[in-house]
Chain A
Amino acid sequence: MSEEILRVEGLGIDFGGLTAVNNLNMTIEKGKIAGLIGPNGAGKTTVFNMLTKVYQPTRGTIYLNGEDITKKTTIEVCKAGIARTFQNIRLFDKLSVIDNVVIGMHNSLEYTTLDGIFKTRKYKKAEKEAYEKAMDLLKIFSLEDDADTPAGSLPYGKQRRLEILRALATNPSLLLLDEPAAGMNPSETKDLMETISKIRDRFDISILLIEHDMKLVMGICEKITVLNYGMVLASGTPEDIQNNPDVIKAYLGGE
């Protein structure tokens, strides 16, 4: 059995009277790409928000690399190694594309406020390395020519890609992608999925991605969890999911 990067046990959250997610059990193995799918409002984004502590779960436990991170804050979860993108893109609009990526490295830049104000050698060295590394990351999605444009003025598709790079810059061991292909055409989507695979190999990380379109994730994910009304409807390999009658009924045939 290979090692688990993420284990979630009995995770659930209530918003007032509404139970948005209930009794979620899920594991992700190291180095794998996993998918989280389900119809609109199934609770997928809410799961991400619980994993990154934007919402505090009402029930359940989250383990990252065997360590219980349920009580950690958003900042601590980032430091522990989970990075994410957002369904409704959240970039630093007024800052340049490259600065957005460099901000992702915030906690790995080891100089103090005073180093910055006095522009010490330590500051200069760290900044130079950070910008070089950021430029390198931008190459993944061929964004290097946009390096100094404000992130907010990039076209939608590029903004989504930039968000992935910013997340990568935090040096995560688990990357959460919320509908990374939203708004892209089929060929762009295919490119994106290939790049995501490459990112996994190059950075040796695990990825959990949310997708609306089930066919899309079949090609890239090794394991898929299907959510419906906040509960796990099925989980397994793409073949299992494709042939699962419940899934077909609730998800594929639903429309």
Chain B
Amino acid sequence: MANIKDKIKNIYKKKNSGVMSYTIVIGLYLVMEILMKTGNLTNLIKSLLVPCVCYIIVAVALNLCVGLSGELSLGHAGFMSIGAFTSVVVSGTLEEVITNDILRLVIAVIAAALVASIIGYLVSIPVLKLEGDYLAIVTLAFGQIIKSIIGNIYLGIDEKGFQFSFIEDTTKISENGKMLISGPTGATGISRISTFTAAVVLCIIALIIVYHLINSKDGRAIMAARDNRIASLSVGINVTRTKTLAFVMSVMLAGAAGAIYGLNYSSISPAKFDFNQSILILVYVVLGGLGNINGTIIAATLLYILPEMLRSLADYRMLIYALILIVIMLVTNNDKLKNRINELLRRKKKHE
């Protein structure tokens, strides 16, 4: 009989510490960096690197909410949007004060994460006390509302300080100043301080947070509340607090990713972060597997890159994309099909 210490060690070993996820992300990073340094990357691919990593982060964050906590969110693009515009405002404002790009980026990302989590918390207060899919409805509405709100904000800064107006542009920014957000046009003239390395660093931080959370009492409580609400209450778990924690953490990471995303372009419009965008991220999570972080990373990478690669097919692009989605869905969610494929693979191996 093995002693308890050994058995516990085994259990610890079998726990998912996320090694695989870190390996995938760092591996991808190194490969891309080498290709870039040796001049083997097309400009198209180069331009996709930062947004791709941002979507990986948001998808991982959404999996914390949907897969681990079991609460459907249909508004994560909205939280990305909050992060993006917060970071643009913060970075734009601090441009002259803090000239170090990295420091300004870090501050902008932290500000974006904070604002997104505060708003996420406020959104969650009325719904996470309830049982049922209310969060899906509220976040769906939230995504639409935030798009309209940001699309009507006019915010500029000059030597007199901030000038703000809503719906109509009544700001009178002097020649020395600049507009930070101009209504439906969004933000323009952003200094592009995001880098691939910064995106990957944030991705690793996001993974560390998620995995460490999963392996702590809070993570266990999050999954327990998902599996059985009444049993969770009966062992003294505050289900509302637990679900709120998961949601706020999730939108915090989405906001941070939005910041890196926003500061990667010279202009962004609020219309970019619409309902379709939220659904797209949800598709990454569902196809990657609920609660499966590795799957999410892979699904987000492939499904983000794929439609861009198919651009040359012009009109047929979305058609082919849809077909590929359906095939992946069938393969990953159909046990019969899975068994058939496994069998074929086995037979093939035998022949060899």
A92 touches B227 (CB 8 A): yes
B7 touches A147 (CB 8 A): yes
**Segment of B53-61, B194-202, B216-224, B258-266 in the binding face:** B216-224
Q: Is B209 an interface residue (CB 8 A)?
A: yes
Q: Is A119 an interface residue (CB 8 A)?
A: yes
B245 touches A83 (CB 8 A): no
Interface membership of chain A positions 132-150, coded 1 if the CB is closer than 8 angstroms to chain B and 0 otherwise: 1001100000001001100
Interface membership of chain A positions 108-121, coded 1 if the CB is closer than 8 angstroms to chain B and 0 otherwise: 01010101111100
Question: A116 to chain B: which residues have CB within 8 Å?
Answer: 212-213, 215-219
B224 contact from A95, A117, A131, Cβ within 8 A: A95
CA distance A14 to B50 in the complex (A): 60
B10 touches A148 (CB 8 A): yes
B216 touches A106 (CB 8 A): no
CA distance A147 to B7 in the complex (A): 9
B217 touches A54 (CB 8 A): no
A54 contact from B10, B11, B230, B235, Cβ within 8 A: B230
Question: A107 to chain B: which residues have CB within 8 Å?
Answer: 236
Interface membership of chain A positions 68-112, coded 1 if the CB is closer than 8 angstroms to chain B and 0 otherwise: 000001110011000110100011111110110011101101010
Interface membership of chain B positions 209-247, coded 1 if the CB is closer than 8 angstroms to chain A and 0 otherwise: 100110111111101100110111111111000000100
CA distance A234 to B125 in the complex (A): 48
A144 touches B223 (CB 8 A): no
Q: How far is the CB of B253 from chain A (nearest CB, A)?
A: 12
* A74-B220 CB under 8 A given contacts A131-B8, A135-B7: no
CA distance A68 to B277 in the complex (A): 52
Q: Which residue of A lies closest to B10 (CB)?
A: A148
* A92-B231 CB under 8 A given contacts A106-B237, A148-B11: yes
Q: Which residue of B lies closest to A128 (CB)?
A: B8
A131 touches B213 (CB 8 A): no
CA distance A127 to B14 in the complex (A): 15
CA distance A196 to B213 in the complex (A): 35
CA distance A118 to B232 in the complex (A): 25
* A75-B209 CB under 8 A given contacts A94-B227, A106-B217, A132-B4: no
CA distance A167 to B221 in the complex (A): 15
Q: Is A166 an interface residue (CB 8 A)?
A: yes
CA distance A115 to B213 in the complex (A): 10
Question: B7 to chain A: which residues have CB within 8 Å?
Answer: 135, 144, 147
Question: A128 to chain B: which residues have CB within 8 Å?
Answer: 8
B236 touches A86 (CB 8 A): no
B4 touches A78 (CB 8 A): no
Report how many A-B pairs have Cβ atoms within 8 Å: 112
CA distance A219 to B11 in the complex (A): 38
B234 contact from A84, A96, A147, Cβ within 8 A: A84
Interface membership of chain B positions 103-122, coded 1 if the CB is closer than 8 angstroms to chain A and 0 otherwise: 00000000000000000000
Q: Is A52 an interface residue (CB 8 A)?
A: yes
Q: Is A206 an interface residue (CB 8 A)?
A: no
CA distance A119 to B213 in the complex (A): 9
A109 touches B11 (CB 8 A): no
CA distance A73 to B234 in the complex (A): 10
Q: Which residue of B lies closest to A49 (CB)?
A: B230
A90 contact from B12, B14, B230, Cβ within 8 A: B230
CA distance A85 to B215 in the complex (A): 25
CA distance A91 to B230 in the complex (A): 10
A135 touches B8 (CB 8 A): yes
Q: How far is the CB of A122 from chain B (nearest CB, A)?
A: 11
Question: A73 to chain B: which residues have CB within 8 Å?
Answer: 233
CA distance A86 to B217 in the complex (A): 23
A95 touches B236 (CB 8 A): no
B223 touches A92 (CB 8 A): yes
* A117-B209 CB under 8 A given contacts A132-B4, A132-B8: yes
B220 contact from A52, A75, A79, A95, Cβ within 8 A: A95
Question: B4 to chain A: which residues have CB within 8 Å?
Answer: 132, 135-136, 144
Question: A91 to chain B: which residues have CB within 8 Å?
Answer: 227-228, 231
Q: Is A170 an interface residue (CB 8 A)?
A: yes
A52 touches B234 (CB 8 A): yes
New A-B pairs, 20, CB < 8 Å, besides A86-B230, A166-B235: A52-B234, A90-B231, A91-B228, A92-B227, A94-B223, A98-B11, A102-B217, A103-B217, A103-B224, A106-B220, A107-B236, A111-B217, A113-B218, A113-B245, A117-B213, A117-B216, A123-B216, A136-B4, A148-B14, A167-B235
Interface pairs (22), CB distance under 8 Å: A84-B234, A90-B234, A92-B227, A93-B228, A94-B291, A99-B220, A102-B220, A106-B237, A111-B217, A113-B213, A116-B218, A116-B219, A118-B212, A123-B216, A131-B11, A135-B4, A136-B4, A147-B7, A148-B10, A148-B14, A166-B235, A169-B235
Q: Which residues of B contact A (CB under 8 A)?
A: 4, 7-8, 10-12, 14, 208-209, 212-213, 215-221, 223-224, 227-228, 230-238, 245, 291
Q: Which residues of A contact B (CB under 8 A)?
A: 52, 54, 73-75, 78-79, 83-84, 86, 90-96, 98-99, 102-104, 106-107, 109, 111, 113, 115-119, 123, 127-128, 131-132, 135-136, 144, 147-148, 166-167, 169-170
In the complex, the 7 A-B pairs of residues with the closest C-beta atoms, listed nearest first: A116-B216, A78-B236, A90-B231, A92-B227, A74-B233, A107-B236, A92-B224
